[in-house]
Amino acid sequence: MVFSSIDFIFKFLPAFLLVYAICPAAWKNGCLFFGSLIFYFYGVKDQPVYIVLFLCSVGVNYVLGVLIGNVRGQKKKWLRIGLIYNFFWLILFKYSGFLAENVNQLLAAAGIGLTVPVYRPVLPIGISFYTFQAAAYLIDLYRGRTAYEGSLIDFGAYLSMFPKLVAGPIAVYTSVKKEIKRRKCSMRKIEEGLREFTIGLGLKVLIADQVGGLWKEVGTIGFESISTPLAWMGLAAFSLQIYFDSYGYSLMAQGLGTLLGFRLPGNFDYPYMSLSMTEFWRRWHITLGSWFREYVYIPLGGNRTGWWRTCRNLLTVWLLTGIWHGASWNFILWGLILFLIILIEKSGLGKILNRWPAAGHLYMLFVIPLTWLIFAVTDLPQIGIYLHRLFPFLSGGQGAVYFAGDYLKYGKLYGLSLTAGLIFMTGGPRKLYERWKKSPVSAVLLLAVFWFSIYCIKRGMNDPFLYFQF
C-alpha cells in the first residue's frame, strides 16, 4: 500500500486515524503498532511469510536490547549477535543472488565445473530501512547513548511506525524516544500534517510521475536511437523524477508523522541548489547519510587518522552507499565514482566551487545528471551507449544523432512538467508558501493540488515510489 493510492488515502488512513483519535493515550502505541502491521501486511500479502520475518525482527531486537541494557560484561556479545541477525536477512534477500551469480562467473572463468545455486527472492518491503533502524538502536544501547525500551509494544510501535516503515526516513530510536512515551496531537498539528502530506502528494504525482514519463519514453525508444538533445532531456527528466519522488515521499511521511504526534526528521534540503557533490550529499537523503557517518565513517576513524585512512574510510562509506541502493555492478560503480568526485573536491576543487557560486552551479548542472545515469541504468554496456549519445565525439561522430527532431516532439509533451520541476527544485516556491501559509489562498491551492492529484491517480497517471525497490 503506497501513500499515493486511493486505498491508502480514502480507506486505510481515515479508518486508522479515527481509531487512533478515540484511543486513550495509554493505548495509542498499541494502536500504532497494530495499525502499522496491517499496513505492512497489505504490502506483503503475496508473501505473507514476510510479516513473520518482520515480527521476528521486532521480537529479536527487543530482547537483544533488553540484554544489552541489563547484562553487564556481555554487551559486545549481544550486539554482535544482533548485528549478525539483522544483516543476515538483509544480505540473504537483497544480495545472495548477486553474490552467487558472480561466484559462478569466477568459477567458470577458472575452469571449475561447479556452480552455486542462485537464489533471488522477492525483496521484503522496507527491509533496508527497518534493518538500519534496528541496528542503530542496538549500537546506541551498546554505546550508552540511550536506555533500552522496556515495553515490547512501544518498541514495536517505533520500529513498525507506518509513515517511515517502507521507505524511510531512517529515524533512529534516540530521535523519537520522547515522543514514543509522550506526545500530543492538536488541531494545529493535524492541519500542519495534512498540508505537508498534500504538498508531498503533489510533488510526487504532479511532477515526479509526469516528468518520469519522459525517461520511460527514452527507454522505450532505445538509447541507440535518440538524439543528443533528447538524451540530455531524458537524463534531466530522471534527475527531476528521482528527486521529487523521494522528496515527495519524505514530506508525506513527515506529514503523517505529524498527524500522529511525531516530528520525523527531514530527508531533503534542496540538494540541487548545492555548489558541490560534497554539499549535495549532505542535503540528499539526509538520514541515510547521517546513518553511514554515525555508524560507519566515524567508528572507522573519520577524518582524524590521516589522509590515506580518511580516503579508505570515505571509500568504504561510498561503496556501502552504492551497494545499499541495489545488488548490481552499476550501483558499485556509482558509489566509486561519487567517492572519486568527493575526493577531488576535498583536494581543493570544493574551495574553488564555494568561492565562485556560478561555477559551482554550472559544475553541478553537468555532474548531477551524469551520476544519475550510472544509478538509473543497470546494464553497464547501455551506460556506454548513452554516454555516446550525450557526447557524440566519443565515437568520432560515427552513428551519432545530433538533431533528429525527437527532442521537439517530447519537449512539447513534457515541457510543462520539466519546467515545473526546474522551478520547484529551488527553494523559491517553498518560501512563498511559508509567507502565505496562513492565507486562505494557500488552503484553496492545496485543495486543488490534492484533488488534481487524486484525479491523476484515478486515471493511472502515477507510479510506485522509486525508493521502494531499495
The whole-angstrom separation of Cα 355 and Cα 160 is: 45
Structure pTM? 0.92
pLDDT at residue 399, rounded to an integer: 58
- 340-357 burial string, b = 16+ CB within 10 Å, else e? ebbbebbeebbeebeeee
Gyration radius of the chain's alpha carbons:
23
pLDDT digits (tens, 9 = 90+) for 119-146: 888 889 999 999 999 999 999 999 999 9
Angle between helices 406-424 and 228-260 (to 10 degrees): 30
The whole-angstrom separation of Cα 279 and Cα 368 is: 12
Q: Which three cell numbers stand for residue 420?
A: 515545473
SS3 of residue 227 by DSSP: coil
Q: Which residue has the cell 555492478?
A: 329
Which residues of the chain are modeled with pLDDT < 70? 395-404, 461-470
pLDDT digits (tens, 9 = 90+) for 190-234: 999 999 999 999 999 999 999 999 999 999 999 988 888 999 999
pLDDT at residue 396, rounded to an integer: 65
- Note if 388 is an active site residue: no
The whole-angstrom separation of Cα 1 and Cα 382 is: 33
pLDDT at residue 20, rounded to an integer: 93
Q: Which residue has the cell 538533445?
A: 229
Contact (Cβ atoms closer than 8 angstroms) between residue 51 and residue 44: yes
Listed in sequence order, the DSSP H helices in 261-306 are 277-283, 286-292, 298-300
Q: Which residue has the cell 533488553?
A: 66
pLDDT at residue 466, rounded to an integer: 58
Of 304, 373, 314, nearest in space to 341 by CA: 314
pLDDT at residue 108, rounded to an integer: 86
pLDDT at residue 59, rounded to an integer: 96
Q: Which residue has the cell 496531537?
A: 185
Listed in sequence order, the residues at least 6 apart from 40 whose beta carbon sits closer than 8 Å to its beta carbon are 51, 54, 125, 126, 160, 162, 165, 166
Active-site entry in 285, 325, 361, 388 = 325
CA torsion through residues 206, 211, 215, 220, sign: positive
Q: What is the largest CA-CA distance in the chain?
A: 73
pLDDT digits (tens, 9 = 90+) for 166-187: 887 999 999 999 999 888 888 8
Listed in sequence order, the residues at least 6 apart from 320 whose beta carbon sits closer than 8 Å to its beta carbon are 292, 296, 335
Virtual torsion, Cα 271, 273, 279, 285, nearest 10 deg: 0
CA torsion through residues 402, 227, 386, 322, sign: positive
Burial of 179 (0-12, 13-18, 19+ CB in 10 A): middle
Which helix (H) or strand (E) covers residue 39, if one does?
Answer: helix 28-43
The whole-angstrom separation of Cα 314 and Cα 289 is: 12
Contact (Cβ atoms closer than 8 angstroms) between residue 162 and residue 264: no
